[in-house]
């Protein structure tokens, strides 16, 4: 299969390109920066896409501006790269008759995760109030009775509720891909990545993932600084597992029609380990592997963050045949000394 991978010089895109090549596929990489096996080009430039798209069977769209954003001044860049860039890419795919897409989406489209109330069952709390965060009241409450909630695993059918610029643009990408599939009869698979970490992860920047921020602090001999009380629950999934999920999604998109693979629609999948851990546990694991210093819990917060978001991986297991293989302890041990991007 001939595959175009956008963002192929990036963290997840680079690992995906490696996985596709190991599987025997012919890979063309596209990224803003050139690299071995990667052509320089911008997905917002339709003319730059004409050559790379010619003769392709599948596009794996990883190129994106990531992170929550530093402030509202970042909104135009997020919209330009993630929304406009995806629209230009999809239009070019239609022009060249490329009818298969694997889209890198994100858990952030859900907003807060799923919660259960003892009285009202499954509920979705709204955004947390600044006054509660400032007082250290981090746990969402039942939107109907105000009672404490138990976090639960969220499935792909949960209604989206994006809480920041990045989340909003990732959901927009899904909507654009769904529209493209309907109008062209193409096949679109959206992979909702949970907290991805691993070798070649970008270093500490305002847009970096929390694992890279902690790892960079430890490299400097500084303690990882953990927001809130460190008990935020996430699903940490290794980047090599994410690359394998992309391969599985490509096989689904190329396969015969089925309930999971139906031309003209988009199907979304959580890409996760299925085993949640707290942010504090992750910081402690990295610190332990590197010999300290121990994490410091700051009580600070970022308004665009959510409290708990963990995934049900069942649909990916059943329909993609994907199951994460790298456990938390093994992955953190490797990541504690792995090269960063």
CATH number of 57's domain: 3.40.50.720
| Contact of 49 with 43, CB cutoff 8 Å | yes
Peptide bond into 293 cis (omega under 30): yes
Cα separation, 222 vs 214, in Å, equals: 9
Establish if 58 belongs to a structural domain: yes
Establish if 146 belongs to a structural domain: no
* Residue 67 confidence (pLDDT): 78
Establish if 341 belongs to a structural domain: no
**pLDDT band at 157, cuts 50/70/90?**
very high
Average pLDDT over residues 150-166: 94
| Contact of 285 with 328, CB cutoff 8 Å | yes
DSSP letter at 141? B
Find tokens 């929550």 and name the residue: 68
Cα separation, 288 vs 295, in Å, equals: 10
DSSP letter at 118? T
* Residue 257 confidence (pLDDT): 56
**pLDDT band at 261, cuts 50/70/90?**
low
Residue 254 has pLDDT above 80, yes or no: no
* Residue 53 confidence (pLDDT): 97
- Give residue-wise pLDDT tens across range 223-252: 999 999 999 999 999 999 999 999 999 998
- Give residue-wise pLDDT tens across range 313-322: 999 999 999 9
Establish if 322 belongs to a structural domain: yes
Establish if 246 belongs to a structural domain: yes
Average pLDDT over residues 28-44: 95
Cα separation, 202 vs 131, in Å, equals: 33
Cα separation, 303 vs 233, in Å, equals: 17
Dihedral of CA atoms 7, 9, 14, 18 in degrees, nearest 10, equals: 110
- Give residue-wise pLDDT tens across range 135-151: 999 999 999 999 999 99
Average pLDDT over residues 150-162: 95
**pLDDT band at 253, cuts 50/70/90?**
confident
Residues paired with 226 in a beta bridge: 297
Residue 320 lies in domain: 2-113+154-336
Establish if 127 belongs to a structural domain: no
* Residue 256 confidence (pLDDT): 63
**pLDDT band at 69, cuts 50/70/90?**
low
Lowest-confidence range among 53-62, 90-99, 260-269?
Answer: 260-269
Average pLDDT over residues 199-206: 82
* Residue 205 confidence (pLDDT): 66
Mean pLDDT of the chain: 94
* Residue 262 confidence (pLDDT): 73
* Residue 258 confidence (pLDDT): 52
Structure tokens at 280: 């504090």
| Contact of 313 with 273, CB cutoff 8 Å | yes
Residue 310 has pLDDT above 90, yes or no: yes
- Give residue-wise pLDDT tens across range 120-132: 999 989 889 999 9
Q: What phi and psi, each to the nearest 5 degrees, are found at residue 197?
A: -145, 165
Greater confidence, 100 or 205? 100
Establish if 235 belongs to a structural domain: yes
Average pLDDT over residues 26-34: 96
Domain count of the chain?
A: 1
Q: Residues of the chain with pLDDT > 90: what percent?
A: 88
Residue 7 has pLDDT above 80, yes or no: yes
Establish if 129 belongs to a structural domain: no
> What angle do helix axes 328-335 and 279-290 make, rounded to 10 degrees?
50
Cβ count within 10 A of residue 227:
18
* Residue 114 confidence (pLDDT): 94
Average pLDDT over residues 167-181: 97
**pLDDT band at 71, cuts 50/70/90?**
confident
């Amino acid at each position: 299969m001939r595959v175009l991978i956008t963002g192929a010089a990036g963290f997840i895109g680079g690992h995906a390109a490696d996985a596709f090549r190991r599987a025997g596929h012919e890979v063309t990489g596209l990224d803003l920066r050139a690299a071995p096996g990667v052509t320089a080009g911008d997905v917002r430039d339709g003319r730059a896409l004409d050559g790379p798209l010619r003769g392709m069977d599948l596009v794996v769209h990883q190129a994106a501006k990531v992170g929550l954003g530093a402030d509202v001044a970042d909104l135009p860049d997020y919209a330009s790269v993630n929304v406009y860039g995806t629209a230009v890419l999809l239009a070019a795919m239609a022009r060249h008759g490329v009818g298969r897409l694997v889209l890198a989406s994100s858990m952030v489209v859900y907003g807060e995760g799923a919660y259960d109330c003892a009285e009202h069952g499954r509920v979705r709390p709204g955004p947390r109030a600044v006054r509660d965060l400032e007082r250290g009241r981090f746990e969402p409450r039942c939107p109907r009775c105000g009672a404490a909630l138990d976090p639960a695993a969220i499935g792909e059918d949960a209604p989206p509720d994006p809480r920041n610029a990045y989340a909003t643009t990732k959901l927009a990408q899904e909507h654009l891909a769904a529209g493209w599939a309907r109008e062209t009869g193409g096949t679109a698979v959206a992979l909702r990545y949970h907290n991805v970490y691993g070798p070649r992860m970008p270093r500490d920047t305002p847009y970096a993932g929390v694992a890279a921020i902690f790892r960079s602090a430890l490299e400097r001999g500084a303690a990882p600084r953990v927001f809130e009380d460190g008990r935020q629950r996430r699903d940490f999934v290794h980047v090599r597992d994410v690359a394998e999920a992309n391969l599985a999604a490509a096989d689904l998109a190329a396969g015969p029609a089925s309930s999971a693979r139906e031309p003209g629609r988009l199907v979304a999948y959580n890409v996760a380990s299925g085993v949640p851990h707290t942010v504090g546990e992750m910081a402690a694991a990295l610190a332990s592997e590197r010999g300290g210093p121990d994490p410091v819990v700051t009580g600070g917060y970022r308004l665009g963050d959510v409290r708990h978001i963990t995934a049900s991986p069942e649909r990916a297991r059943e329909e993609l045949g994907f199951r994460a293989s790298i456990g938390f302890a093994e992955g953190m041990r490797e990541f504690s000394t792995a090269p960063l991007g």
